[in-house]
Structure 1
Amino acid sequence: MSDTTKIKIGIIGGSGFDDPELLAEQSERAVSTPFGEPSDVILEGRLNGVPCALLARHGRNHNLQPSDVNYRANIWALKEVGCTHILATTATGSLVEEYKPGDLVILDDFIDRTWGRKCTFYDRNECGPRGVCHLPMRPAFCARARAALYAAARDRGYTCHNAGTAVVIQGPRFSSRAESLMHRQWGGHLVNMTTVPEVVLAKEAGLSYAAVALVTDYDCWRENETSVSVAEVLEMFKKNVKKAADVIIDAVQILAADQDLSYLDAHKELVASAVMLKE
C-alpha cells in the first residue's frame, strides 16, 4: 500500500458514541447500497484529527432487533464512504467465571448459532461482486486492530482480556440454561447476538475489523443464578460503556500512527484469493 494511502476508521456501536462533541467537522451522510439501507445515517468527521465514520448498529433510536439489522448494508455503506477499518462494540454475557461483569474482552473467534441472516455479498446481486467467496475465517478478526484495542485498554488500566470466543445467538431472546451450559461445553467465553455476520462481512469486504466486548452479566449457566434481564444488562452497560468508548477512541489514534499499512493489502488479497469465478 502506498504511503499516500489514508486510513478512515468506521465505528459501529451506539450508546457511548452519541456525544455531539465527539467528532470535529461532523456531518451526516445517507448512503444507499445494493443490499438495501443501513441501520441509520453515517456520521462523518474527525476524531482527534483521524477521519472516522460512526454508525449505530441498531439505529440511533435502537429500533432494530439483532436479526433485523441489515449487516450487509452497514458494512457496504462504511466501505462506500472510504473506511479501511471498523472497530465495533458489543454487549455480551459471560460464559466463564473469570470474565466478570464490567470487564472488557477483545474478541478473537466466534461460534455462529444464527440462522437466516445474509452472510455474504457474493449472492448474485446484479450490483454486487461476482463469483462465490469461500472465505477462510482463521483468524476471524484483524490482528493489528485487535492489538490496538488491547493496548488502548491496557494503557487505560481497564480490566481487559485479550482473547475470547463469542457464541452468537439469533436473539432477541436470551439463552435457556441448557443452551448456556452447552455454549460453555463448546468452549465459548461470551454470548451475544450481533458479531455474526458483521465480522464475516467486514472480512469479505477486505476491511480491518475488531470488536471490544463489554461483559454485562453471567448469562444463566451458574448455579442459583437468576435469569438475565434487560434491566440488568442496560444498567451494567450504562455504568461501563465509557470504558469501551475510551478504548475505541484511543485505538483510533494507535491505528492512525501505524506507518506499516501492508496488512490492509493482505486483507484484500485474501478475499481475492477466496473468490471462485466461472471461466
Structure 2
Amino acid sequence: MGSDAVLGVIGGSGLYDIDGLENTRWVKVDTPFGDPSDELLTGELGGQRLVFLPRHGRGHRIPPSDLNFRANIHALKQLGVTEILSVSAVGSLKANLPPGTFVVIDQFIDRTFAREKSFFGAGLVAHVGLGHPVCGRLGDLIEAALVELDVPHQRRGTYMVMEGPQFSTIAESTLYRTWGCDVIGMTNMPEAKLAREAEMCYATVAMVTDYDCWHEDHDHVSVDAVIRVVIANAGRARALVTALAPRIAGRDGACAQGCHNALDAAIMTAPSHRDPAMLEKLDLIVKRVLG
C-alpha cells in the first residue's frame, strides 16, 4: 500500500513554494459540509503525491473560529490523502522552547467552544478513541526528517488550543503553564479529532514564533523580530515537507497504529435506526466500515 500513500499538508501559503514540486494544479473541491478554506494544490515531489491546503485561505482571509474544519478534512480525504502533516505557528509556554523551535506534538488540550467538532451526529452516532490524538508513526518520520535537517525541535509536547481570535491574558497563560502545556495556538482542534474520524494519520508540527504573554520579555519583542522568525520557520517547514515526502512512501499496508481503522468499533447507532440522509452525507467517511 506504500504507493497509495498521499501526503496532505495543512498550513500557510509559504509552504507551497517548494523546489521540485511538479505537475501542480489548484483544484476546487465541493464537500457535503460546505466549502473548504480554499482550492487545494495538488502535485508530486520526487514521485510522491502531495496535496496542500491553505488553512486560512490564500491571503489569510479566514480567522480560526470561522474555519470550516469538517470541509477541510473531507476535501483532503476526497483527494485521496492518507497522512496529514499539520503545520501551525504557536506561542511558547516553556522557557526551553524559544522562537524558532519546532515541536512535534503528541497531546492536545482542546479549549475551543465555537466549532463543529465531529462529522457524526443525530441519526449516526460514533465515538472514536482519542487517547493518542496523533499518529506516533508519522511523528517518528517527522522527527527523523527534522534531525536530518538539523532543525531545533522537541519530539513531544502538549498543544493548548484556545478559541481566539484574541491572545491569552497573563492569568490564562500562567494557568496553562501549570497544566504542563508546552505551546499555545488556535488552529489544531478539531482538526485532529476530525482526521481520526476520517481514518487518516495526523501529526502536528508546532512552530514557535514567540513566547506567550507569561514571559517577562514578551513586551520587549518587536513585530519585526517575530516576522523574521515566521519567515525562517516557513523555510524550515518547506524543507521538512521535502524531507518527509520520500519517507511517507515507505508505509506497507494500513497504519500499524490503527489510524486507518479508527471506525472499526466506533459507530453506535443500530442499523435499523441509521438516518439515510446521514449515511449519504457521510458515505466517504463510513463506507469502509458500513460498505
Q: Structure 1-normalised TM-score?
A: 0.91
- Give the secondary structure class of the aligned counterpart of 2:4: coil
Matched, 1:33 2:58: no
1:135 counterpart (94, 113, 128): 128
Q: Which amino acid aligns with 1:261?
A: G
Aligned length: 271
Percent of aligned positions that are identical: 39
How far apart are 1:4 and its partner, in Å?
7.4
Q: For residues 197 and 230 of structure 1, what CA distance do their matches in structure 2 show?
A: 29
Unaligned runs of 5+ residues in structure 1 are 125-129
Task: Summarize deviations over 1:50-73 as a string: whole Å, max 9, x none.
Answer: 011111000011100111111100
The answer (yes or no) to whether the contact 1:102–1:236 under 8 Å persists in 2 is yes
Alignment of 1:178-193 (within 5 A): 178-193=171-186
Provide the residue aligned with 2:254 in structure 1.
262
Provide the residue aligned with 2:48 in structure 1.
50
Provide the residue aligned with 1:246 in structure 2.
239
Provide the residue aligned with 2:269 in structure 1.
277
2:200 counterpart (202, 207, 211): 207
- Identify if the C-alpha distance between structure 1 residues 209 and 230 changes in structure 2 by more than 3 Å, giving closer, same or farther: farther
- Identify if the C-alpha distance between structure 1 residues 21 and 65 changes in structure 2 by more than 3 Å, giving closer, same or farther: same
- Give the secondary structure class of the aligned counterpart of 1:58: coil
Q: For residues 31 and 229 of structure 1, what CA distance do their matches in structure 2 show?
A: 39
Q: Which runs of 4 or more aligned residues in structure 1 lie more than 6 Å from their structure 2 counterparts after TM superposition?
A: 227-230
The answer (yes or no) to whether the contact 1:219–1:228 under 8 Å persists in 2 is no
Q: For residues 103 and 265 of structure 1, what CA distance do their matches in structure 2 show?
A: 27
Larger mean CA deviation between 86-95 and 248-257 belongs to 248-257
Q: For residues 167 and 220 of structure 2, what CA distance do their matches in structure 1 show?
A: 9
Unaligned runs of 5+ residues in structure 2 are 272-291
Q: For residues 230 and 15 of structure 1, what CA distance do their matches in structure 2 show?
A: 20
How far apart are 1:5 and its partner, in Å?
5.8
1:194 counterpart (187, 196, 213): 187
Q: Which amino acid aligns with 2:108?
A: F
The answer (yes or no) to whether the contact 1:84–1:264 under 8 Å persists in 2 is no
The answer (yes or no) to whether the contact 1:15–1:241 under 8 Å persists in 2 is no
1:162 counterpart (155, 163, 166): 155
- Identify if the C-alpha distance between structure 1 residues 176 and 147 changes in structure 2 by more than 3 Å, giving closer, same or farther: same
How far apart are 1:224 and its partner, in Å?
4.9
Task: Summarize deviations over 1:121-140 as a string: whole Å, max 9, x none.
Answer: 0024xxxxx62121221111
The answer (yes or no) to whether the contact 2:17–2:238 under 8 Å persists in 1 is no
Q: For residues 221 and 162 of structure 2, what CA distance do their matches in structure 1 show?
A: 15
How far apart are 1:88 and its partner, in Å?
1.2
The answer (yes or no) to whether the contact 2:74–2:198 under 8 Å persists in 1 is yes
Task: Summarize deviations over 1:200-244 as a string: whole Å, max 9, x none.
Answer: 111110001111111011101123531878665433211222112
Q: For residues 239 and 4 of structure 1, what CA distance do their matches in structure 2 show?
A: 32
Q: For residues 119 and 94 of structure 2, what CA distance do their matches in structure 1 show?
A: 34
Q: Which amino acid aligns with 2:259?
A: H
The answer (yes or no) to whether the contact 1:106–1:211 under 8 Å persists in 2 is yes
